[in-house]
Amino acid sequence: MGDIRRADFGYFVRPAEETGTGQPRVEPCLGYVLKLAEGLLLFDSGMGKGERELEAHYRPSRRSLHVALAQVGATEEDVRWVVNCHLHFDHCGGNPQLAGRPVFTQASELALTRGEDYTLPQLIDFPGAQYEELEGEAEILPGVWVIPTPGHTEGHQSLAIRCTDGTVVLAGQAVDVASDYTAGHLAWRARKDGAPEPLPAYRAWIERVQQLDPARVLFAHDNAVWEPA
């Protein structure tokens, strides 16, 4: 299986009312490039530009798709497939520049994009948009699986890749930070081990991801990487 490189699309400032800490937080916007013999698969494509209110709310500092790909030795022409963890503006901003490539998404997620104030419409229904709608888990390429990880949105999905040194999971915004994944994993592990109640809740998809025996889990808004103990 080909190698995986991180694409740096810049950062934005999450306001205090959204962080749960009483303080604003600067978060990276990350995508991932999977290099295969047949071409590149791009997982998330950066931040689209929104209305003035959206820009003022998140104060994004963007790096273009062209620049982000160039930093990993690639170009837009090299990209053959696109997978978005979900279709909010900060994950599919570069999709219109990749018209004609298949974009893998959950059918439920694509349906949500037509709702009011869900995302930026111009990032969804652009000329040449080509969606491959999925209904749950699917092996989209040999050794590359889309795994539903709902929570942040109903149609959120992650990507699991069998690599020579183990499975890598690109979790997108299934959780915001790696420590949240650690907490969910340990809650699942404790329940599996029969630890006495009360125990914290965790996302149901944690069990499916752990069945893949991940060597690494990477995220859209955290530079940290989860690894097993």
| Rounded Cα–Cα distance for residues 11 and 14 (Å) | 10
- Residue 214 pairs in a beta bridge with 167
| Rounded Cα–Cα distance for residues 98 and 52 (Å) | 25
Q: What is the mean pLDDT of residues 135-154?
A: 97
Of 28, 175, 172, 169, residue with least CA distance to 106: 172
Residues 83-134 have pLDDT tens digits of 999 999 999 999 999 999 999 999 999 999 988 889 999 999 999 999 999 9
Q: What band does 37 get if pLDDT is binned at 50, 70 and 90?
A: confident
**pLDDT at residue 164 in the model:** 87
- Please check the confidence at residue 2 and state whether its pLDDT lies above 70: no
Say what the pTM is: 0.96
Q: What is the mean pLDDT of residues 58-70?
A: 97
**pLDDT at residue 55 in the model:** 95
Q: β-strands 79-83, 102-106: how paired? A: parallel
| Rounded Cα–Cα distance for residues 86 and 90 (Å) | 9
Q: What is the mean pLDDT of residues 177-191?
A: 97
**pLDDT at residue 115 in the model:** 85
Q: What band does 48 get if pLDDT is binned at 50, 70 and 90?
A: very high
Determine which helix (DSSP H) or strand (DSSP E) holds 6, and give its type and residue range: strand 4-14
Torsion over CA: 114, 63, 99, 151 (sign): negative
Domains annotated for the chain, with CATH where assigned, are: 4-218 (3.60.15.10)
| Rounded Cα–Cα distance for residues 161 and 43 (Å) | 12
**pLDDT at residue 107 in the model:** 98
Q: What is the mean pLDDT of residues 195-210?
A: 97
